[in-house]
Structure 1
Amino acid sequence: MTDKELDPALQKIVAAQATGEDEEDIEIPGWWVERLHAGYRQMLKIDKLLYDSKTKEQRIRVFENPTFGRVLTLDDILQTTERDEFIYHEMMAHVPMLAHGAAHSVLIIGGGDGGVLREVVKYRAVGRIVQVEIDAEVIEFSKTYLPMISDGAFDDPRYELVVADGARYVAEAEETFDVIIVDSTDPVGPGVVLFSEEFYRNCKARLAEGGVIVTQNGVPFTQADELVHTMSVFRKLFVDHTCYTACVPGYAGGALAIGWGTNDTELRAVPLEVLKRRYEAEKLKTRYYTPEVHKAAFALPKYIKDLIP
């Protein structure tokens, strides 16, 4: 699409905004527009639309982009891309797993693309991995359209899929887990409940002694309320509550925050040399995560640190 073709579409949006009309439904041919934040838009060129289907839960789309490769969106909010997914998934999985050091059971809530699962199955000591996904179609189409993300992890014999609401699962389950990874969407639509205080309290009840929970908490620069809320609840629930960050290019607005909650204060303080030994013992192959990055990720910029009560 040329600049001359793009200009009329943008002019429509500007005109709608000027008259107070709703510009949410204005399409820009050949482009995907993320309207997650008020007054801020992210656009990605659609070279080829591979999948577009609206389930009873959400609208799922996959398309190819010249910069990010294959792109997955849910309800027109970017979830992951082929080019940068490794950053998000490695930091969501390896930070809690290597900090714990002896996890035998892992609960993944969400994460239908299989990226977090792909990293968790690398740990030989893990005997059970439960993934709770509200929409089974997300997993099925991820296997078809984004197989490079799960990389065969769905076939691991330790893996168990539960198709259910994550909030209901942690409220009703009885077993506990060493590590809980909440790989949720943003607090929009079905994802809202996964940011509630009740959900977090029930997650704590599912943590084994010495366990740790990590949560997707958006980009603090544009979604400060999301992190403030989670950290306010974590302050009530955990002795050690904070977040760490990762820079994921596809997530507009700056560094991504990943919430951290545990009652074992030793986990965040694991020495660098110990993390290195654990990393090498697992023979991990990563593209973003390193033990040094692990330690540095908890050193927060002041604007983020100020959001943590």
Structure 2
Amino acid sequence: MADWFDETLHDDYRQGLRIDRVLYQSNDGLQDLIVFENARFGRVLCLDGVVQTTEGDEFVYHEMLTHVPILAHGRVEDVLIVGGGDGGMAREVLKHPAVRPVMVEIDPDVVEFSKQHLPRLSNGAFDDPRLELVIADGCRFVKETEKRFDVVIVDSTDPIGPGEVLFTAEFYADCKRCLKPGGVVVTQNGVPFVQGGEITDSYRRLGESFADVHFFRAAIPTYQGGDMAFGWASDDPDPRRQSVEVIEARFADAGIETRYYTPDLHVASFALPRTIKDLMR
């Protein structure tokens, strides 16, 4: 029988991926890390029993969390990426020629590990001179930096363990502090069907600092439940209300290529089912 990786994020719901070949595995007593190949999803990175990313569908996550805020804003020059050590978010941000991204990653080993074992995710992003890579605590960076950004992308793990601080009201307030007027913050916010509490918590905490708080969605097979939510926060409601025609024009001007993102999908992603709206309280 083939070996299988059974994800253990939830007590009452599991999904498995067949392990065709283990490429790397370590357990130092603090975390359990494995990278393996799967015929459908390519290389798969898992940490402490939870799938973090796969080559097969990472583009959905990275494209939506990048191009939605950048094209909705329309005049982006400076982008802050908090986390994102695998380089996938930087890869997508760098598709916009006029954008100068700063990426803040707390662990340099994550970057080096990703370069070695998941090079397709960054696809050369770490060699681009426009990318400023800062090895630092993201929470401290947004609290202290004198730089100001048009968009802040929070590419975090789930709100358990080290990633929990990136879901706090204090962190969101500090993100707002380093935004330019009219700026946008977007966040990874889990799968509402099985992580509904995260929607409620983020909605309340973001609402302490921002006038316009909402969510947008994408279908990502890797993550249990599939229908993933991203947090959206700004003091200006106009960016998320742009028409398809406006987004189409900006997308054409940017001259970028995507595999999942389209202007139609961009606008539709802000439409929320009643189940999610009921969690926004």
Whether TM-score is above 0.5 comes out as yes
User: What does the per-residue CA deviation read over 1:12-53, in whole Å, with 9 as the maximum and x for residues that have no partner?
Assistant: xxxxxxxxxxxxxxxxxx221211112111211111111123
Say which is worse superposed, 132-141 or 177-186, in terms of deviation.
Answer: 132-141
Give the aligned partner of residue 112 of structure 1: 85
The DSSP-based 3-state class of the residue aligned with 2:147 is: coil
CA distance, structure 2, for counterparts of residue 74 and residue 169 of structure 1: 25
Aligned counterparts, 1:132-147, within 5 A: 132-147=104-119
Aligned length: 281
Q: CA RMSD in A?
A: 1.4
- Whether 1:35 aligns to 2:8 is yes
* Matched residue, 1:277: 249
Provide the secondary structure at the position in 2 that maps to 1:237: coil
The 3-state SS of whatever aligns with 1:279 is helix
How far, CA to CA, are the matches of 2:26 and 2:236 in structure 1? 43
Partner of 2:153: 181
Instruction: Tell me the CA shift for residue 60 of structure 1.
Output: 2.9
Unaligned residue ranges in structure 1 (runs of 5+): 3-29
Match of 1:19 in 2: none
Q: Pick one of 162, 185, 195 that aligns with 2:134.
A: 162
Matches for 1:194-273 after TM superposition, within 5 Å: 194-273=166-245
Question: Contact conserved, 2:27 with 2:33, CA < 8 A, in 1?
Answer: yes
CA distance 1:55–1:211, shift in 2 (3 Å):
farther
Whichever of the two has the greater Rg, that structure is 1
2:274 to 274, 278, 302: 302
8 Å CA contact 2:169, 2:208 repeated in 1:
no
1:101-126 C-alpha deviation (Å, 9 max, x unpaired): 11111100111111111110011111
Q: Could you tell me which of 54, 63, 67 is aligned with 1:90?
A: 63
Q: Which amino acid aligns with 2:13?
A: Y
2:255 corresponds to 1:287: no
Deviations 1:53-91 (A, max 9, x none): 346974332110122111011222111111101101000
Distance 1:206 1:59, change over 3 A: farther
- Partners of 2:135 and 2:30 lie apart in 1 by 13
Between the aligned residues of both structures, percent identity stands at: 56
**In the TM superposition, what whole-angstrom CA distance separates every residue of 1:170-194 from its partner, at most 9, and x where no partner exists?**
1121211110000000012110111
Of 37, 50, 56, which residue of structure 1 is paired with 2:23? 50
TM-score w.r.t. the length of structure 2 is: 0.96
Normalising by structure 1, we get a TM-score of 0.88
SS in structure 1 of the partner of residue 132 of structure 2 = strand
Structure 2: gaps (5+ residues): none
The 2-side partners of 1:109 and 1:32 are apart by 28
